[in-house]
Amino acid sequence: GAGVSQSPRYKVAKRGQDVALRCDPISGHVSLFWYQQALGQGPEFLTYFQNEAQLDKSGLPSDRFFAERPEGSVSTLKIQRTQQEDSAVYLCASSKQGNTEAFFGQGTRLTVV
Amino acid sequence: QKEVEQNSGPLSVPEGAIASLNCTYSDRGSQSFFWYRQYSGKSPELIMFIYSNGDKEDGRFTAQLNKASQYVSLLIRDSQPSDSATYLCAVIGQAGTALIFGKGTTLSVSS
C-alpha cells in the first residue's frame, strides 16, 4: 500500500482482556518498529523487526507484551491481560533500512476500562 | 538525563515570523537526526532529516546539526497558522536502529 496501515484505529478493552493490534508496513520496507505514545509525551520505543527477525525488544514494558512478524511483512502487537496503564496510542513505523527515515501509521488508540 | 531533550513550550510566534525549535541529545555517537510534526490526534509526519554537520534546507524548513555541541535545531521561516503543531526531535543512537524521541515542542502560530 501507499502508507503504513494500522488496525483497529480505536480499541476499548476491559481490564484483563487480551488485545491484538495489526500493522501493515509500506511494501518493501525491511524494518518495522512499534512505539507507545502516552498523552503529552513523545513516542516510546517498544520493539524492532528486520524482516521476520525481532532484533530488539528492549522497550516492551512487561512480558504481557508480545510482537511478531512471521512472514516479514504484517506485524501484530499483542497485549495480554490488559491493565489501565496500557492505555495509550500504539504507533507502527516502517523504513527501508533500520537507520533511515521511518514513516508512521495512523496509530491505534487503546483505552483500557 | 533523558536521551533527547526538548523544551515543551508552548512556543508562540506571529504569522510570518521565524520559529526556532531546539533539541539536545546525550549519545555522542548518534548519526541520524529527524524532525517530525504531529498534529493533535494524528500520527507523526516526517518533515526533515539530517546526517551531517551544518544546515539542510527544504522549502521553508532548515535543519541545523552541531555534533560537537550535540544540538539539533529546526527553523521554520514565514510561519503559518497551519504550522501550529507539536514538533518531535528524534535521534538514532550509535548502537541502535530505533528512533529515540524527545517529548516534543508545541508551536502556536497566531494570525
pLDDT for B39 equals: 96
Q: Determine what percent of chain A is predicted with pLDDT higher than 70.
A: 97
Mean of the per-residue pLDDT values of chain A: 95
Instruction: Kindly tell me if the per-residue pLDDT of A100 is higher than 90.
Output: no
Cβ-nearest to B100 among A45, A91, A105: A45
What is the pLDDT, as a whole number, of residue B1? 58
Q: What is the pLDDT of residues A75-99, one digit of tens each?
A: 999 999 999 999 999 999 999 987 7
DSSP string, chain B: --SEE-----EEEETTSPEEEEEEES-TT--EEEEEEE-TTS--EEEEEE-SSEEEEETTEEEEEETTTTEEEEEESS--GGG-EEEEEEEE-SS--SEEE---EEEEEE-
Q: Which residues contact B89 (CB under 8 A, 6 or more apart)?
A: B4, B6, B21, B23, B25, B33, B34, B35, B72, B74, B101, B102, B104, B105
**pLDDT value of position A71:** 94
pLDDT at B97: 78
Side chain identity, residue A32: L
Q: Is pLDDT larger for residue A21 or for residue A97?
A: A21
- Nearest of A41, A22, A4 to residue A110 by alpha carbon: A22
Nearest by CB to A42, from B31, B92, B101: name it. B101
Enter the C-alpha cell of residue B65. Answer: 546539526
**A42 interface with B at CB cutoff 8 Å:** yes
Contact B103 A105 (CB under 8 A): no
Residue A1 has what pLDDT? 54
* Residue A65 predicted with pLDDT over 70: yes
Which string of b and e fits B21-33 if b means at least 16 CB within 10 Å? Answer: bbbbbebeebebb
Judged by CB atoms closer than 8 Å, whether chains meet at B99 and A100 is answered as no
Beta-carbon contacts of A8 under 8 Å, excluding residues fewer than 6 positions away, are A21, A22, A108
Tell me the pLDDT band of A13, cut-offs 50, 70 and 90: very high
**Inter-chain residue contact A59 with B98, CB threshold 8 Å:** yes
Return d(Cα B101, Cα B98) in angstroms, integer.
Answer: 10
Q: How far is B43 from chain A (nearest CA, A)?
A: 5
Taking the C-alpha atoms of residue B43 and residue A16, their distance in angstroms, rounded to an integer, is 27
The C-alpha atoms of residue A21 and residue A110 are separated, in whole angstroms, by 9
Q: Does A67 touch chain B (CB under 8 A)?
A: no
Q: Are B1 and B98 in contact (CB under 8 A)?
A: no
Closest CA to B105 of B2, B5, B26, B1: B5
pLDDT tens-place values along chain B, 111 residues long: 569 999 888 999 999 999 999 999 999 999 899 999 999 999 999 999 999 999 999 999 999 999 999 999 999 999 999 999 999 999 998 877 789 999 999 999 999
Say whether B97 and A104 touch across the interface (CB within 8 A): no
DSSP-assigned beta bridge partners for residue A32: A49, A94
- Closest CA–CA distance from residue A91 to any residue of chain B (Å): 8
Size of interface A-B (CB pairs under 8 A): 56
Instruction: Measure CB to CB from residue A101 to each of B34, B97, B103 and give the nearest one.
Output: B34
Asked whether the beta carbons of residue A42 and residue B98 sit closer than 8 angstroms, the reply is: no
